[in-house]
Structure formats: C-alpha cells, structure tokens
Amino acid sequence: MTKETPTVDMEKIVSLSRRRGFIFPSSEIYGGLSSCWDYGPLGVELKRNIKQAWWRAVVQERDDMVGLDTSILMHPQVWAASGHLEGFADPLVECKNCHLRWKADDLTGDSCPSCGGELTESRQFNLMFKTFMGPVEEDASVVYLRPETAQGMFVNFQNIVNTTRKRLPFGIAQIGKAFRNEITVGNFIFRSREFEQMEIEYFVKPGTDEEWFNYWIEERLNWYVRLGIKRENLRLREHSKDELAHYARSCIDIDYLFPMGWSELEGVANRGDFDLVQHAKYSGKSMDYYDDETKEHFIPYIIEPSAGVDRSTLAVLCDAYDEEPDKDEIRVLLHLHPSIAPIKVAILPLSRKEQLAAFSKEIHADLRQHWMVSYDDTQSIGRRYRRQDEIGTPFCVTIDFQSLEDNQVTIRERDSMNQIRVPIGELKNTLKAKLEGEDLFVLPPGGQIWKQGE
C-alpha cells in the first residue's frame, strides 16, 4: 500500500513558496532568523483553511469535543509536574576548539564534525525557551514558552467538566503556538523553533483506552486523506519501548513521505493517567472524575492525537505539487483540495476596457462575500491561468465581450482545464457545487460545455 520514493524535491516547494508568497524566511532583510518562517498572503490562507478543516472535524461536527485557547505562558510548576523541567532535554557536546554544539545522539565519531576538534563530555540541554515575567530578571520570575499546547488542556480539566457538564468519554481541542529550542532544525518548515500544534486530549474511562487509541489513529489518518493527501504517502509507525516519551504508554506516529523521506506528521499517544495524576500531586487539587452511573471516583486516562500545523501545510504542498508538459514549457500546478486552496476562484476579464472591467468587478464584489476570490487583469489569459494553476486555484471565471451581450461567463477547471459557460444568475450556485466536488460537466439551466482542455 505504501511507497518509498518521494515525488517532489524540497527545493521546488521552497522555491514555489517563496516565489508566490506562501512562506518567507523570517526577518529576511536582516539575513533571516534560523528556522523561523513567515507565512505570506497565500500561506496564511492555506494554513487557516487547514486549521479550520481540523476544527470542523474535531470540534464543530462532534458532540463529544469542546475547544479551548489557553495562554502560552503558564505557571512554572506546570512544567515541573509535566516532567518537562526534568526530562525535556537532549544530551549535547561542545567542541573545545570551535565551540559548536552537537546533539550527542547524532554523532558517529568522537571528534567535532566541523573542525575535527576534541569534544566535551555530554550534558543535558533543556529544550524549553526561558524568559522572565515582570521587570526583574531573577530566578523567582522565570517562566517558559510552552513546548506543547497539551498542558493548558490538562490543567483546565475540572473547569471543562464543571462548565460544560461533559461526561466521559469527551475531549478538548486546542490550536496554538509552541516553542522548542531545537538543536537540529531544518527541512524548511518541518522542524522549527516556533511552530503551531493542533492537539486533542481525549479523556476516557481506564480500561477503554486501547479501544479509543485505535479509534483516534483511524480517525486522524482518514482526516489527512479527506484533506486530499494520497493514502500511499501516509503510513503508521509504532514507537518502540525505548523511544516512548516519559508520559506515554504507547504511541503511533502518522508519517508522511516528505521529500527527505518518511517523517512524523502527527503522533497519537496513550498517556494513561500520567498528566492528571501529576497535576493533582503538584497542585494539591483533585483531578478525580465522578461517574454517576457506577458511583465511582477515578482519574481518567488520556488519548492524545497531536498534529503539527506547519507539517500539515508542508505535507499538503508536497502532495499537491505537480508538473505537466505544456506546449514548449512546463505547467506547474497544485492539486489542492478546494476546501484548503487559498484562493477558491479567480476573476479574469479578457480586457481592461472600462465596460468589461465594471461588469467583472461587480461579479468579483458579489462572489468575494462567499469565498476568497482574486481579480487579475494583467498579461495574457494563458499566463493568468498558469499563475492560478501554480497557486492551486480550483476555478477561473473568464469574462469576455460576449458576456456583456449574453450575460454568460466561462468557468475553467484547474486540473482538467475544461471549460463550461453558464448564465451569470447561475454562477454562484454552480461554483458552490463544483467547489463541493460536483463534476464540471453537470450543467446548470442554460449552461453548456465550452471547451475540453486548452
């Protein structure tokens, strides 16, 4: 079912992202800041659409889930309880000659890979970013930028039970920034020091945890497929006992075949009662749940599907990227699923003449109330189609002088390049149906097939 060879080079994705305004290096005019990225006008739409698709699937369409948005800075005791102060560290060695630092696990020899110098003994390096709360920089005011959004959900467990009256099993979902002072970064937005997570903490009765663990693996895998990612580019990988995080009883990664090979897109972990027990111990507050049916008090187990927004964005870009022979050139296109495409429809008047422009702008003004719609009247129509193909716009609406007479416009489909012509009164509903997956050649009243291919 799965394959081994990635279909696209990372350079092509980086180049397209930069060229078309999906993703730029952070603070680029100052030479950039290592592993930090800025999402441009198209990137911000794509990322927002992915987050919206996730929220819709895991909160909006479910009875057993609620959302939350907790602060990035939390009480320092949170990180003592979670085990991050103790355990969220990598062993590091330093070169005595050039002073570069290396992750001990990544080294094969016992000298510096850069200058061959002698290395120090390894010592633990905590990956949490530290800062100070208030004006005094002293130990008592140290706080951390959260390295995961999860803890905000654990510490609010009782608030959610008390305010929503949810009964087990139920879950909390949160999307937000997380920060890790990673030693090795790279592969574009795959591993950075500031990134965004989409996390679910699903609380279940102990004993039912295995069943819910399997349920969420299936559910999350299917979500990526619904987002348009090819099934053969996804696989499940179980963590061996020695690679399990300190809190996990078991963990399965959903891997994607990125350009650098199979790598983690999302982790689904069975965290048992580790987190609630720890927070009960450190805060002195009860984390018990009262089951009204069995009249028992117990601490729930937690199943955690934890996904990266940036990795999902990179995966959909890689998966959608395609090149096709096109006369003497190459047509670059992104086969993005319409639900996540940054721009849903482009309005392309064939001329800039006043009469046609006014007519086209009216259509633009109407459609943009429903979707992100762009307007482009520069250069030849062929070039404009290519520009839209390259950013994944599913449909172009072309308006010509005949439109002024017959009140009809053409709709061109990105992937097939086929075109239909429809009355303006039918345009909005037709586009809606096509964006929801209806075949292009299912025609509205008064519509006709206009062109097959280009």
Q: Which of 267, 300, 305, 349 binds ligand GAP (CB under 6 A)?
A: 267
Number of residues that bind ligand GAP (CB under 6 A): 19
CB neighbour class for 107 (10 Å; exposed up to 12, middle 13-18, buried from 19)? middle
Give the CA distances from residue 418 to residues 211, 399, 415, 442, in Å, rounded to whole numbers and listed in that order.
46, 16, 8, 12
Q: Which of residues 151-180 bind ligand GAP (CB under 6 A)?
A: 180
Nearer to ligand GAP, 74 or 443 (CB): 74
Q: Which of 182, 219, 291, 413 binds ligand GAP (CB under 6 A)?
A: 182
- Minimum CB separation of residue 333 from ligand GAP in Å reads 26
Nearer to ligand GAP, 14 or 265 (CB): 265
Q: For the chain, how are helix, strand and coil distributed in percent, rounded to 5?
A: 35, 30, 35
- Answer yes or no: are the C-beta atoms of 389 and 331 closer than 8 Å: yes
- Minimum CB separation of residue 84 from ligand GAP in Å reads 10
Give the CA distances from residue 242 to residues 74, 213, 245, in Å, rounded to whole numbers and listed in that order.
30, 20, 9
Length of the chain: 454
- Minimum CB separation of residue 88 from ligand GAP in Å reads 9
| 229 binds ligand GAP per the rule CB under 6 A | no
Give the CA distances from residue 249 to residues 99, 174, 273, 302, 379, in Å, rounded to whole numbers and listed in that order.
38, 22, 10, 10, 59
Q: Which of residues 197-226 bind ligand GAP (CB under 6 A)?
A: 197, 199
Question: What is the DSSP annotation of 389-425?
Answer: HHHT-SEEEEE-HHHHHH-EEEEEETTT--EEEEEHH
- Minimum CB separation of residue 202 from ligand GAP in Å reads 13
Q: Which of 70, 187, 192, 418 binds ligand GAP (CB under 6 A)?
A: 192
List beta partners, residue 101.
94
CB neighbour class for 79 (10 Å; exposed up to 12, middle 13-18, buried from 19)? buried
Q: Which of 264, 326, 390, 413 binds ligand GAP (CB under 6 A)?
A: 264
190-229 burial: b if 16+ Cβ within 10 Å, else e: bbbbbbbbbbbbbbbbeeebeebbebbbeebbebbeebbb
Q: Which of 20, 47, 84, 191 binds ligand GAP (CB under 6 A)?
A: 191
Closest listed residue to residue 310, CA positions, set 179, 125, 152, 153: 179
Nearer to ligand GAP, 252 or 265 (CB): 265
Map tokens 């895991």 to a residue. Answer: 58
Query: Strand pairing of 129-132 and 142-145?
Result: antiparallel
| Helical H segments across 103-156, by residue range | 150-154
Nearer to ligand GAP, 147 or 349 (CB): 147
Q: Which of residues 307-346 bind ligand GAP (CB under 6 A)?
A: 307-308, 310-311
| 306 binds ligand GAP per the rule CB under 6 A | yes
- Minimum CB separation of residue 254 from ligand GAP in Å reads 8
| First-to-last C-alpha distance (Å) of the chain | 34
| 275 binds ligand GAP per the rule CB under 6 A | no
Nearer to ligand GAP, 150 or 334 (CB): 150
Nearer to ligand GAP, 150 or 343 (CB): 150
**Residue 92 CB contacts under 8 Å (≥ 6 apart), including other chains:** 101, 102, 103, 104, 122, 123, 124, 125, 183
| 435 binds ligand GAP per the rule CB under 6 A | no
Nearer to ligand GAP, 311 or 344 (CB): 311
Q: Which of 79, 154, 195, 203 binds ligand GAP (CB under 6 A)?
A: 195
Nearer to ligand GAP, 187 or 398 (CB): 187
Nearer to ligand GAP, 37 or 102 (CB): 37
Stretch that binds ligand GAP, among 39-47, 215-223, 265-273, 338-346 (CB under 6 A): 265-273
Stretch that binds ligand GAP, among 190-198, 276-284, 313-321, 337-345 (CB under 6 A): 190-198
Nearer to ligand GAP, 175 or 343 (CB): 175
Closest listed residue to residue 6, CA positions, set 258, 336, 189, 317: 258
Question: What is the DSSP annotation of 141-154?
Answer: GEEEE-S-SHHHHH
- Minimum CB separation of residue 312 from ligand GAP in Å reads 7
The residue number with the shortest CB distance to ligand GAP is 308
| 150 binds ligand GAP per the rule CB under 6 A | yes
Closest listed residue to residue 321, CA positions, set 396, 264, 257, 411: 257
Q: Residue numbers of the site for ligand GAP (CB under 6 A)? A: 148, 150, 180, 182, 191-192, 195, 197, 199, 264-267, 304, 306-308, 310-311
